[in-house]
């Protein structure tokens, strides 16, 4: 039988150690296909409290709970509608979080007091091995300080937290690179709470119409934690209009139109590759002390919604 192998340097002994730390109520950062997560035992309110403390995150912002198989969802969510089953069959393991009515075993702190819970099966061998070995669902937000850029590499986690995290499992660069799509199935109709690389069009092809959280006709929707300023580098990020760069020295990201900034970076032409590069390049530029990071408006189209969403938030001051 082939031995399970993990990317980079994570071996079975490290997984066992990480699982033990999770069971003891400590924090472990681990790779997923979207971004790195800062994990704690989702059934242990004290462990979960440490996540909020380490991130500097307000307790009004609910966490996503990760499980390794559909058979574990029942521990977290108390109902499993047909639409959830259809989506899970197609997109799990993967970057789609489903918001469902929560089980009583999940402490209120995890869900910011809501009666619903976000749950997903991540598509990453290290995350899945950790979940299996820990034997408990793992609550994990992105492993960054509140409002900062999400981490797509173990080094990004180390820069934010240093030794405030008991262990960081290094799975190399994340290959999706943006946080999961968040879809609520808790109400009468499906609502997209956060766009991601599983697109609204892909979801609608399976389950029919999905409304948007910011749909003005539906009023302000229950998407706690979707703060306008979020996912931001420390360096001011500005969109470029009419080909004009700000004064001073900065870096410029573009898809089509070259402009002569101190540092210029051309993004890949397709949405998947752009998503996979975006946070990585922003982290890199953010460490180079530029006066600004200027970004051309990305292309439009189904796969690009999540990129627009994150850049709009990164530009919000
Ligand atoms: O890709 C991801 O989702 C990553 C990896 C680690 O899985 N996690 C992540 O977690 O991005 P976080 O905490 O940074 O973002 C969680 C998002 C927030 O926008 C939050 O509002 C939403 O999920 N969310 C979680 N539970 C919810 C609930 N019960 N109702 C509404 N929104 C919820
Ligand atoms: Mg986050």
- Summarised one tens digit per residue, pLDDT across range 201-232 is 999 999 999 999 864 444 444 455 556 667 78
CA of 150 to the centre of ligand 2 (A): 6
CA of 141 to the centre of ligand 1 (A): 6
Average model confidence (pLDDT) for the chain?
A: 93
Give pTM, 2 decimals.
0.94
Which pLDDT tens digit goes with each residue over 66-96? 999 999 999 999 999 999 999 999 999 999 9
Q: Which residues fall inside 5 Å of ion ligand 2, going by CB?
A: 142
Q: Which ligand is nearest to the CA of 62?
A: 1
For ligand 1, which residues put their CB under 6 angstroms from it?
A: 32, 34-35, 37, 61-64, 95, 97, 99, 111, 114, 116-118, 122, 140-142, 179-180, 182, 193-194, 223-226
pLDDT of residue 10: 87
pLDDT of residue 6: 56
Please state, as a whole number, how many other Cβ atoms lie within 10 Å of the Cβ of residue 288: 13
pLDDT of residue 217: 44
Best probe residue, ligand 1, of 79, 138, 179 (max atoms within 8 Å of C-beta) = 179
Confidence of residue 163 (pLDDT cuts 50, 70, 90): confident
pLDDT of residue 80: 97
Confidence of residue 165 (pLDDT cuts 50, 70, 90): very high
Is the model more confident about 10 or about 173?
173
pLDDT of residue 232: 87
Q: What is the mean pLDDT of residues 231-248?
A: 93
Closest CA to 181 of 43, 305, 274, 311: 305
Sign of the torsion formed by the C-alpha atoms of 226, 182, 29 and 158: negative
* Helix ranges, the chain (H): 12-23, 45-55, 73-76, 82-91, 125-134, 154-161, 200-207, 271-286, 305-315
């Amino acid at each position: 039988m082939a031995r399970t192998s993990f990317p980079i340097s994570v071996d079975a002994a490290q997984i066992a150690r990480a699982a033990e730390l999770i069971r003891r109520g400590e924090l472990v950062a681990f790779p997923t296909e979207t971004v790195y997560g800062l994990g704690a035992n989702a059934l242990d309110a004290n462990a979960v409290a440490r996540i909020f403390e380490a991130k500097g995150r307000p307790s009004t912002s609910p966490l996503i709970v990760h499980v390794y198989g559909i058979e574990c969802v029942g521990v977290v969510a108390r109902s499993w509608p047909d639409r959830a089953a259809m989506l899970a069959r197609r997109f799990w393991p993967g970057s789609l979080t489903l918001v469902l009515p929560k089980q009583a075993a999940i402490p209120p702190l995890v869900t910011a007091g809501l009666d619903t819970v976000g749950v997903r099966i991540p598509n990453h061998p290290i995350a899945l091995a950790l979940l299996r070995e820990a034997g408990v669902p793992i609550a994990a937000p992105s492993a960054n300080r509140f409002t900062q850029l999400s981490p797509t590499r173990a080094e990004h986690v180390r820069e934010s937290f240093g030794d405030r995290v008991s262990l960081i499992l290094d799975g190399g660069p994340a290959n999706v690179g943006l946080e999961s799509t968040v879809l609520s199935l808790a109400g009468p109709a499906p609502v997209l709470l956060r766009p991601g690389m599983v697109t609204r069009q892909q979801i609608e092809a399976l389950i029919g119409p999905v409304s948007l959280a910011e749909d003005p006709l539906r009023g302000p929707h229950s998407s706690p934690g979707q703060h306008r300023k979020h996912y931001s580098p420390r360096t001011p990020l500005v969109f470029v209009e009419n080909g004009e760069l700000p004064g001073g020295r900065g870096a410029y990201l573009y898809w089509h139109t070259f402009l002569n900034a101190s540092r210029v970076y051309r993004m890949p032409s397709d949405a998947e590759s752009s998503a996979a590069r975006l946070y990585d390049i922003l982290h890199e530029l953010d460490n180079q002390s530029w006066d600004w990071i200027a970004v051309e408006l990305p292309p439009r189209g189904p796969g690009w919604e999540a990129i627009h969403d994150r850049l709009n938030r990164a530009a919000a001051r």
